[in-house]
Amino acid sequence: MASPTSDTPLCISGIYPHLALFNGPDEGECGIGAIVPWAGKLWAITYGPHFPHGSPDKLWAIDKDLRLEARPESVGGTPACRMVHRESSQLFIGPYAIHSSGAVRTIDITKLAGRQTAVARHLTDPANLVYYFDMEGAVYEVNVHSLSVTKLPFGNMAPGIHGKGAYTGQGRFIIANNGEAGEPVPGHEDDMGVLAEWNGAEWRIIERKQFTDVTGPGGINGAPRCNSPVWSIGWDRRSVILKLLDAGTWHTFRLPKGNRTYDHRGGWYTEWPRIREVTGGKFLMDMHALFYDFPGTFSAGNTAGITPIASHHRYIPDFCGWNGRLVLASDDTSIMQNPMAGRSQSNLWFGAWDDLASFGPRNGYGGVWVNDAVRAGIPSDPYLINGFDHRVIHLWHDAAAPVTFTIEADAAGSGAWRTHIEVAVPARGSSWHMLPESLRAQWVRVRAGRDCTAGAFLHCQSRRPRNEHERRIFDAIPDAGDACRTVAGIIRPGADKELQYVRQAAGEPGRYCELDEALAFSSPAGDRSDEVMRLAPVTRDFDIDDASVIMTASGRRFRLPKGHAAFDKPFAAGWPRGIRECESERYLANIHGTFYVIGRESGVPAIQPVATHNKQIMDYCTWRGLLVMSGTRPGARPDGHYFGDGACGLWFGQIDDVWKLGKPVGTGGPWRNTPVLAARPSDPYLMIGYDSKSLEVSHDAPHAVTFNVEVDVIGTGSDWLPYATLTV
């Protein structure tokens, strides 16, 4: 981290607080929709959620000295598109055309009326026209010289309600849509969103799934050759989907999901997964909370090289390389359904490619089949296993006779498939197979030996590389067992871009403070403590018993491991905060010494652990792109993460610093000296995200008791598979 000087602005964990971007005081979110290095500057656009006719959002320019400028040509809206038009030497970013000289022009948004999500090269006149695609599904032609706009008369050319990416390649204009309205149609529950193409004469649906980005080796510059491959990413209830168009044929591949916070029928929680060339010729892919090193050579004849880098909690609409650094955009603090924040805001993260490995572990989950009708001998889609240390596949079916599943592997990504193993699964039964470390392959696929309804689902995990000193950045926050009185309190991003802080040191009266972008504390004349406490009240959000932590959602109980015993009772300043939205539409949960991630839609049933801290963290939020935490040691001294005077201070970092607190650990279970009834299942107990697990079973009956251990490998709570039978 860099301390501020006359030449170097303040930087904490790659975040420059002065570069925080805000829009109007009432806009539900302030996502950074696109970032592009161009004309000697880094250009960025922000968006609010539903503004097809403009808004207070801006076109921003950042120069090499990190000076921020809001451009006077700004008209706002909900844009997230960008493309470099080679022939006219212009960057099209949102409704703006920026010449290589730096001159900015604005397209008339009364004619380009929509939430622009993609710009693509024109099929027949690429030197003079570009396509704009908007979230509502409309397509426009824009003249790159006059900026005149023509809306094309396509009507409802493809289903979907949430347009995303678009790209031109191999003689077709391809669009992605990741949302669907209304309730699922029986028999067509998987029909959500679309990947579709137009050849200049007619539209064709490629697949009815939720797709986001469409791109290729040329990225935002467009296809380098007429036969260059095209890539698109999406997802369904099974896993992430990667589509490849090569030599006119579409191919399908599947990859794990890092977590399920992005899943939603309407597609609202995916802002905006991308594949993009960044630094040193490397392509970065970000999808469902996992970063991948994506090979620019990915094609039908060479599918090798996709390698997971890390999981993350940051909500990332775009990324790029600039001046030798990797830059990640964000959709950070949102006020949508979130009164704990007073103003929507986001910021950029600056770092290096190698820094990404210090984010979360390379963990992912997904399958090729989830209760799908499969035909005997027909192979599944390929599923990525390259780059994960531990891979286990769960298999099940409903046939009245045993089924043999053949697992095949493609070692080199050349399409040469070899049988790895055959797994016999009993009638209406299940089994699992640990893929050995000796199986060094890019992809696996599965064949069933008979027609049936089947599942084939994988859990892939890797240990996160740890630096023995990385946890020291949290030294200002006392451990759970430390006897010191913490300087704690409630924090809230204020409506005037300030950070509000109500200090609640034990045995002392409360103190209201505010912080500015320089992280300087002040005591304003007006005490707004009551406002903070009313809008950001602390709730415990969990219960405990002798067995474990209990969380309740929709009338169902879920159990989590316990941390340090100090969390069984409140701190001197009260109970620490339980759940809080820190990235737009997803939550951090501070439960009994462990941080978890929870999706707004997927909720507690899909909760996943992030890190076990066992520290006296009282409150936390995001502000100016920084993660802020209260609960510090008295007398703490500034160290690049702690700012304050010892009597009143806070900890600052970035959201993915939390992984450095420690891997998820804990103890507990569904029962501990608990009266139970025969055959009645226990509450579900969390096991996903923990790198090692053990189970101890005991009872007080005077005779042997058989325990049936079941696992929910999908995470829906509807498909419990037998794992083991223990007689004690």
Domain of 431, CATH number, reads 2.60.120.230
Contact predicate 62/34, CB 8 Å = no
Range of 580's domain? 477-661
Domain shared by 484 and 441, yes or no: no
pLDDT value of position 281: 85
Pairwise CA distance, residues 587 & 269, whole Å: 12
Q: Are strands 172-177 and 325-328 parallel, antiparallel or unpaired?
A: unpaired
> Three-state DSSP class for 221?
helix
- 403 and 508 inside one domain: no
Domain-located, residue 470:
no
Q: 175: which 2 tokens?
A: 């669009």
Whether residue 74 is contained in a domain is answered as no
- Same domain? 396 vs 535: no
Which of 426, 461, 496 is at the close of a domain?
461
The Cα–Cα gap between 603 and 292 comes to: 26
Q: Which residues in the chain come in under a pLDDT of 50?
A: 1, 3
Residues 378 and 451 in one domain: yes
pLDDT of the residue at 1 = 47
Within a domain: 127: no
485 and 434 both lie in a single domain: no
Measured over all CA atoms, what is the biggest interatomic distance in the chain, rounded to whole angstroms? 88
632 DSSP 8-state letter = B
Rounded to an integer, what distance in angstroms lies between the CA atom of residue 331 and that of residue 314? Answer: 8
Q: Is residue 550 part of a domain?
A: yes
Same domain, 513 and 551: yes
DSSP, collapsed to helix, strand or coil, labels residue 547 as: coil
Q: Which helix (H) or strand (E) holds 582?
A: strand 579-583
Instruction: Give the gyration radius of the chain's Cα atoms.
Output: 26
Cβ pair 319, 328 in contact under 8 A? yes
β-strand partners of 395: 431, 456
Q: CA–CA separation, 124 vs 201, rounded Å?
A: 12
Report the domain count for the chain: 2
| Residue 624 tokens, joined | 């100016």
Asked if residue 43 belongs to a domain, the reply is: no
Answer yes or no: do 540 and 607 share one domain. yes
Whole-angstrom CA distances from 329 to 44, 268, 345 are 9, 18, 12
240 within a domain of the structure (yes/no): no
Same structural domain for residues 501 and 614?
yes
As a whole number of angstroms, the distance between CA 388 and CA 437 comes to 10
Same domain, 411 and 484: no
Tokens of 262: 């992005």
* Same structural domain, 514 and 651: yes
Q: Say which residue the tokens 């997803």 belong to.
A: 586
Are 484 and 570 contained in the same domain?
A: yes
Which residue is listed with tokens 């409309």? 138
Percent helix, strand, coil in the chain, to 5, is 5, 40, 55
Is 25 a member of any domain? no
Pairing of strands 325-328, 430-435: unpaired
**Confidence at residue 507, expressed as pLDDT on a 0 to 100 scale:** 63
Q: Is 706 helix (H, G, I), strand (E, B) or coil?
A: strand
Does residue 445 fall inside a structural domain? Answer: yes
Same domain, 489 and 637: yes
